[in-house]
Chain A
């Protein structure tokens, strides 16, 4: 039994390499009719290593796009290109075109501060600032000068916390430090913090990987609600999660976007053999 499994695994390995070598272009339709963000021929290099190869992808309005794939496939790197968080890594170089509402986000005149205000991000590990809950949420509006009065700021904080479904749990202790919350609450606080800036897109980098199943469920519920107002791109390790929250799913493999399609289709009837091998758990 063990022997068969080993053979299968090594067979899959060589088959995968072969498929990757034959790979020409993404299976499925990468375009949507009403794109919020459009990415063409995106290549990313870290020094001499190429991390992303010629990816074309659209993020539509009011949709949740899931990005899945084995570790090291470049999905997080790709996500971080979308609000130029990769700028913080010195050796990182991005080529190709990424446009937000038709504006090139890598154009020299594009302002990264403004871009990040429009494209928010939630990180893998909850990272509340060592400040009070209130100050955590108010931080974004304050630095951007979004509120003209204290009342308005209070209003923004309350709305954001409500939208992130955490208001009821924290409304009595807004002055308590954000770091004192539980993991799931911290992550929802981080989401509230992102919402408070009223972005147009929210990027989520494995937002539930550090959380327990109950906290995960509440975040997933929240993502579904948020879809009404925002375009959301979510990187996830869990295929079940992708299936639960997203409308479309992109499958990445070693820096290439292999297949893109309706989430239901990807998980029930994938077109590309690599996707199928991953979905069926032959490797991962």
Chain B
């Protein structure tokens, strides 16, 4: 029988090709490993580079100056009120204190350089100190004030190797050494970063304004998108008749989920700002635009959650004579709630990281004040990142990275919450 020969043949042929085929197999698998590694490496590189850049921003440098605070030269009356103290200008006193600290400076140009040693925010700090303790007036007070960002950068480094070696830097460095010798310079944790709004001076710029802006924007987003999203999901999942209109709504929702976010920004400008005349730059409009954007996410997640509740439970309630809406509100919705909440949190996390549509509706303005309501002009964290990333000062680059770190921490916390919720309430029917 010639069958045996074919069989031998098969074995031999297959054997002959094996080495090559296994080499191909290894190469293919290696490509997979490489693909995953590239993504992981990029993630690691991104996080490390941002953390390395951002960490210095959590430190700031203070200088102790002996500031003479005479009421007369400050233009204050004999019995100044807190408001008057807080409104007075202290720049001159600070400049004098600086000159007193470095008496060798005499030339005009050198003086101007010296005045940049402390931040312009120092005046505000002196005012705050005086409001807290008015007895300091008419004395020479030793006060810690904020140093300029460049000074801070130099003061943080032990060996100065990284800095450019021009004459001005040399002088500044010498002065820092001088202050160090007198224990007049100190690096502290940068609380200001979490207590202040934006500023032109990097050392005095904070993210509280942006955080509050994000907070108000997200509140508006949540208040609008959660009830509307859940109601829409319940309707589509439980009530909607199978007809053309329902089909259109369905297709619409899926498409909206993939529309570029900037298009929502255009909608915001055209409809809410130009047509309804809602205030520009306000969390109200930002929240409305973001809620339209997150609605599809919430609806899709909620529908999936509703779908996963077994019909037997609804049947049981219906069989007891509960109305359809009672069945849903008493039984189906509570059971679907963990899934709905998970989807909502993920939608909110997306909204928190979104910036493009907010640029369109004017949330990119330079805003110093911390917003106190949904109609105040405000910016949000990601937009603050965008604004600062444009500034050339290195201290702003550091603060940009620090703001990104804060943003990422919020996002990771939200996602962790979603995962936790899913794990905690996950049910298998």
Contacts and interface: CB of A to CB of B under 8 A. Distances in A.
A–B interface present (Cβ within 8 A):
yes
Interface of A: 111, 113-114, 117-118, 143-146, 197-200, 229
Contacts of B7: 118, 198, 200
Interface string B51-83: 000000000000000000000000000000000
Lowest 7 CB-CB distances: which A-B pairs, in order?
A145-B17, A198-B10, A117-B14, A144-B14, A114-B14, A198-B6, A146-B13
Contact of B13 (A111, A144, A199, A229): A144
B174 interface: no
Nearest to A228: B3
B18 interface: yes
Nearest to B15: A114
B18 A229 contact: no
A113 B10 contact: no
Given A111-B18, A113-B21, A114-B15, A146 B10 contact: yes
B6 A144 contact: no
Most chain A Cβ neighbours within 10 Å, of B6, B10, B17, B18: B10
Nearest to A144: B14
Nearest to A200: B7
B11 interface: yes
Contacts of B21: 113, 143
- Majority SS at the chain B contact face: helix
Interface in B1-28: 3, 6-7, 9-11, 13-18, 21
A118 B10 contact: yes
Interface of B: 3, 6-7, 9-11, 13-18, 21
Contact of A197 (B3, B10, B16): B10
Contacts of B16: 145
A81 B270 CA distance: 67
B10 A145 contact: no
Contacts of A229: 3
A114 B18 contact: yes
A198 B7 CA distance: 7
Nearest to B3: A229
Given A197-B10, A198-B10, A144 B17 contact: yes
B41 to A, nearest CB: 27
A145 B24 CA distance: 14
> Counting chain A CB atoms within 10 Å of each CB, which of B13, B15, B16 scores highest?
B13
Contact of B18 (A113, A197, A199, A200): A113
A143 B17 CA distance: 9
28 contacts: A111-B15, A113-B14, A113-B18, A113-B21, A114-B11, A114-B15, A114-B18, A117-B11, A118-B7, A118-B10, A118-B11, A143-B21, A144-B10, A144-B13, A144-B14, A145-B14, A145-B16, A145-B17, A146-B10, A146-B13, A146-B14, A197-B10, A198-B6, A198-B7, A198-B9, A198-B10, A199-B10, A200-B7
A113 B15 CA distance: 9
Nearest to A230: B3
A117 B12 CA distance: 11
A148 to B, nearest CB: 9
Contacts of A198: 6-7, 9-10
A185 B266 CA distance: 57
A193 B204 CA distance: 75
Contacts of B3: 229
Most buried by B among A111, A113, A229: A113
A13 to B, nearest CB: 30
Contacts of B14: 113-114, 117, 144-146
A79 B407 CA distance: 56
Give the most central of B11, B13, B14, B18: most A CB within 10 Å: B14
A165 B202 CA distance: 83
B9 to A, nearest CB: 8
Given A118-B7, A199-B10, 5 more contacts: A113-B21, A114-B11, A114-B18, A144-B10, A145-B16
B17 to A, nearest CB: 5
A197 B16 CA distance: 15
